[in-house]
Amino acid sequence: MNTHASRPLRLGFLASRNGSSLRAIVDAARLGRLDVDPRIVISNNSTAAALTFAAEKGLAHACIPTRSDPAAADQALVRALEAAGVELVVLSGYLRRLGPATLARYRNRVLNIHPGPLPRFGGEGMYGRRVHEAVIASGAAESGIAIHLVDEEYDRGPIVAARAVPLEPGETVDSLEARITALEPAFFVETLRRIAQGELKLPPA
């Protein structure tokens, strides 16, 4: 992915709330454990803790509300990412559908993490606790974590990396949610490391 050996992969982040994976990625980069360059954090929510984190870390950050004028927000998002020199966009709990301009400009360059196996436990409305509830209700022997490319359909883009998470005896929605939430940030860091090192190849942009 990173064809420029002299510099790290330039990342932009979209987060609606806390941005747990964002935090882990930025910290890994600052500690020299991940060869990426976090460039900007953008949220659709002005009170998102992710924006506070970005400010504390000295990262460029912006709020681009999407609800009142999604088309204008879509264009503004592209402009902000391009101005920051972003090559790869990381969704860290971004709870809005990306618009056509962003998807066209960053085709095959937007990564999302999903807290369950795809495609079985994905699709519109399947996020967070709802995924864990569906996994438990299905009687499946395992859940998982999937990092996938984002396209026009929820959770249907190509899977880049996946990890199985076997269910434990007596597993509950709460316990499964806690375990997967704890595993997600490190798995995102590991996957980005493999992309930055060229071990994982993304499709052409």
List, by residue number, the catalytic residues: 114
> Are the CB atoms for 30 and 61 separated by under 8 Å?
no
CA distances from 102 to 80, 92, 124, 196, 200 (A): 11, 16, 19, 22, 23
Residues, the chain, total?
205
Helices (H) and strands (E) in the chain, counts: 6, 7
Return d(Cα 153, Cα 136) in angstroms, integer. 24
For residue 119, what is the DSSP state?
T
